[in-house]
């Protein structure tokens, strides 16, 4: 039994449904601060420092300090506030955000367009790049925070790596408790962290109030005019200040657009800029503080507590991308780009809050490899950013299609908006490319592998569906040919990938057992390109006659699939549905790699076969009772 197919026929208009989180706005804002903004909130730990002592160091003088800080302020304004909060987060797919949600939203409106294949590839590539961010953010955030111990006491340096590893392992161990519980725990901590950022910033700004002049964009322009090469290379490090912006969009379904947007405008953005300006004021007074301006802003007695607060904040920063990785993985499974994986829904109030064990442990392994392999945050900073800016650039391109083709904005306004996004993202992308030799190849290699995995699974499933359709028998033909078959009591449910044809398990059962149940339900799961399907639209039932019923179960790509629960609502199939008198029949295909006439390259067929073998069983995925399931196997090749 394959993954569910896509359902184009149900109402997929996001405006007709409301699946936003139901908690009060204040609670959602606290959760958003604790989960969504941890990533971008910890950028002050390393962004300004890397701009001056990173791969392309530069002198600490007024022009460079004012230029870099002006770039940071206006980058946060244009990328986070305008692009994501004001534009991208309006492109929600019934509350859900992220590349797959954006892809699904556009696919409904541009179905059959010559641009559809291009958009699909862009969406898959953006999702692949996001996983690179999900690995690097925990590594660089936690490591940079723990490195503050060396500012407190240089002799503590040997403890940095062991402590960072312990912190990261602990973070991934608590993921199964769910985003809501973790967010409720982390929210107050991040509030304290942001208050600390603002306080440290204000104390240092008082010593050099002229630093407020960085709000004038003329400084950013003059920086480029003063030394174009240095300014261009510096943008690769300046970009570290906006990493985490994509997470706002990917995690939007957890807390809702309103809570995420208000939190940014009223708390997060002001606190971040106060801290960056405070660091700049410190550098103007004490250029040697460039070694670690974040920690050296604080008086000596406060540095150890600051290390503790910052470490807790970086744990939370990691939570943002981990939650986003869970969301994107679940969407990829439902839309047919990944095989079935065990997925746990961790909240009764917000369906978007999930936990995927296999992704959790895979991310932990990769994060530990990065931390132990690179060893220090400065080296990790060289690898960080390129996957994030790649995702942002793709999002800008996809938003362009949405604004021009779906929302149909005024052409001049649309061109100005998207042109600005592409210009900013394009410059940052070009600057980050220079990081490839210094470690930027790592997230690109990971993204390339994941892109291959996602496209191989999607292509293999398509080829399998086509082959099954060629050999399938229409239901009316089967009913007529099986009219004289002996019928036995009770109900049989046959899971079918196609809503039109007879599943292979039904043919095999008839061939081997020579009988049929008196009531046969042929059940097909269809996944719509919207996050959730309302209960009153869950089931579609058609009486095919002679005790046969065609049942279509509709789900959204963020819904939890539960077939027994869905079928319990059947009322128009004669007697009420009773799971204790029902047998569920599943077809299990064993894929054989064909070397003579492969449907894909042979190595991709081997990859597809391994993914099929590794996927969660259909019985577990559909939540079928173990003692009521019969599996009938067959072999096939593409």
Question: Above 80 in pLDDT, residue 104?
Answer: no
Give pLDDT, residue 597. 65
Average pLDDT over residues 559-575: 86
Q: What percent of the chain has pLDDT over 70?
A: 92
Give per-residue pLDDT as tens, 321-359: 787 788 788 878 878 899 988 887 665 555 556 788 999
Give pLDDT, residue 352. 55
Burial 467-489 (b: 16+ CB within 10 A, else e): ebeeebeebeebbeebeeeeeee
Strand pairing class (548-556; 582-591): unpaired
Q: Outline where DSSP puts E strands in 40-180.
A: none
Q: Which residue has the higher pLDDT, 527 or 291?
A: 291
Average pLDDT over residues 455-470: 85
Average pLDDT over residues 456-461: 90
Pick the range with the lowest mean pLDDT from 5-19, 70-84, 612-626: 5-19
Give pLDDT, residue 343. 81
Radius of gyration of the chain (CA): 27
Q: Which two tokens stand for residue 411?
A: 């052409």
Give pLDDT, residue 216. 95
Q: Which residue has the higher pLDDT, 106 or 630?
A: 630
DSSP 3-state percent helix, strand, coil across the chain (nearest 5): 65, 10, 25
**Which of 235, 206, 210 is closest to 220 using CA atoms?**
235
**Which of 551, 508, 145 is closest to 318 using CA atoms?**
145
- Distance, in Å, from the CA atom of 244 to the CA atom of 320, rounded to the nearest integer, reads 8
Most confident of 26-40, 402-416, 489-503: 402-416
Give pLDDT, residue 367. 93
Question: Above 80 in pLDDT, residue 599?
Answer: no
Q: Which residue has the higher pLDDT, 594 or 42?
A: 42
Give per-residue pLDDT as tens, 146-158: 999 998 888 888 9
Answer whether CATH 1.20.1740.10 is correct for domain 26-458: yes
- Distance, in Å, from the CA atom of 387 to the CA atom of 441, rounded to the nearest integer, reads 9
Question: Above 50 in pLDDT, residue 239?
Answer: yes
Number of residues that make up the chain: 638
Where do the structural domains in the chain lie, given as residue ranges? 26-458, 474-636
- The three-state secondary structure class of 225 is helix
Give pLDDT, residue 303. 92
Give pLDDT, residue 22. 57
Average pLDDT over residues 585-601: 76
Give pLDDT, residue 4. 55
Helical H segments across 257-347, by residue range: 257-263, 269-285, 293-296, 303-334
- Beta-carbon contacts of 121 under 8 Å, excluding residues fewer than 6 positions away, are 455
Strand pairing class (486-495; 582-591): parallel
pLDDT tier for residue 416 given thresholds of 50, 70 and 90: very high
Give pLDDT, residue 8. 45
**Which of 524, 520, 476 is closest to 498 using CA atoms?**
524
Instruction: State the pTM of this model.
Output: 0.80
Q: Which residue has the higher pLDDT, 67 or 635?
A: 67
Pick the range with the lowest mean pLDDT from 13-17, 131-135, 169-173: 13-17
Q: Which two tokens stand for residue 93?
A: 């797919």
- The three-state secondary structure class of 586 is strand
């Amino acid at each position: 039994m394959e993954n569910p197919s896509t359902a184009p026929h149900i109402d997929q208009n996001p405006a007709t449904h409301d699946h936003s989180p139901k908690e009060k706005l204040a609670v959602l804002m606290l959760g958003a601060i604790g989960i969504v903004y941890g990533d971008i909130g910890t950028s002050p730990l390393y962004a300004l420092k890397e701009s001056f002592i990173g791969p392309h160091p530069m002198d600490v003088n007024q022009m460079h300090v004012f230029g870099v800080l002006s770039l940071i302020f206006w980058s946060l304004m244009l990328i986070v506030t305008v692009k994501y909060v004001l534009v991208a987060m309006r492109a929600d797919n019934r509350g859900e955000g992220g590349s797959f949600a954006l892809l699904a939203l556009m696919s409904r409106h541009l179905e059959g367009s010559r641009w559809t294949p291009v958009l699909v590839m862009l969406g898959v590539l953006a999702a692949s790049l996001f996983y690179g961010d999900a690995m690097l953010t925990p590594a660089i955030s936690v490591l940079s925070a723990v490195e503050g111990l060396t500012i407190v006491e240089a002799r503590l340096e040997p403890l940095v790596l062991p402590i960072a590893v312990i912190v990261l392992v602990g973070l991934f161990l608590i993921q199964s408790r769910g985003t809501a519980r973790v967010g409720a725990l982390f929210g107050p901590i991040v509030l304290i962290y942001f208050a600390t950022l603002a306080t440290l910033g204000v104390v240092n700004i008082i010593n050099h109030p002229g630093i407020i002049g960085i709000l004038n964009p003329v400084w950013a322009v003059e920086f480029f005019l003063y030394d174009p090469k240095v300014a261009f290379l510096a943008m690769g490090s300046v970009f570290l200040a906006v990493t985490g912006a994509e997470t706002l969009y990917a995690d939007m379904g957890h807390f809702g657009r309103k809570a995420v947007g208000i939190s940014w405008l009223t708390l997060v953005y002001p606190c971040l800029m106060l801290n960056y300006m405070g660091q700049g004021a410190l550098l103007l007074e004490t250029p040697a503080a460039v070694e670690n301006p974040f920690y050296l802003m604080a008086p000596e007695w406060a540095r150890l507590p600051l290390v503790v607060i910052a470490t807790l904040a970086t744990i939370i920063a990691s939570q943002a991308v981990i939650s986003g990785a869970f969301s994107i993985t679940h969407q990829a499974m439902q839309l047919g780009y990944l095989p079935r994986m065990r997925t746990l829904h961790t909240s009764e109030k917000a369906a978007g809050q999930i936990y995927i064990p296999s992704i959790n442990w895979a991310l932990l392994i990769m994060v530990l490899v990065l931390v132990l392999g690179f060893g220090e945050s400065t080296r990790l900073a060289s690898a960080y950013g390129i996957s994030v800016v790649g995702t942002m650039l793709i999002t800008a391109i996809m938003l362009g299609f949405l604004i021009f083709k779906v929302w149909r904005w005024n052409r001049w306004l649309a061109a100005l908006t998207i042109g600005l996004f592409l210009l900013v993202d394009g410059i940052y992308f070009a600057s980050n490319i220079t990081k490839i030799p210094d470690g930027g190849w790592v997230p690109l290699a990971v993204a390339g592998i994941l892109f291959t995995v996602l496209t191989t699974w999607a292509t293999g499933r398509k080829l399998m569906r086509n082959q099954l359709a060629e050999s399938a028998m229409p239901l009316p033909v089967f009913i007529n040919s099986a009219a004289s078959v002996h019928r036995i009591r009770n109900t049989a449910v046959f899971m079918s990938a196609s809503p039109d044809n007879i599943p292979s398990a039904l043919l095999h059962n008839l061939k081997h057992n020579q009988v049929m149940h008196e009531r046969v339900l042929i059940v097909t799961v269809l996944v719509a390109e919207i996050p959730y399907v309302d209960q009153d639209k869950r089931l579609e039932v058609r009486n095919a006659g002679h005790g046969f019923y065609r049942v279509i179960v509709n789900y959204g790509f963020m819904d939890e699939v539960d077939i027994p629960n869905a079928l319990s609502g059947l009322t128009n199939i004669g007697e009420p549905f009773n799971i204790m008198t029902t047998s569920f029949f599943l077809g299990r295909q064993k894929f054989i790699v064909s070397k003579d006439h492969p449907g894909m390259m042979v190595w991709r067929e081997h990859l597809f076969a391994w993914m099929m073998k590794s996927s969660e069983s259909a019985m577990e995925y559909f939540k079928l009772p173990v003692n009521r399931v019969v599996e009938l196997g067959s072999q096939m090749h593409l």
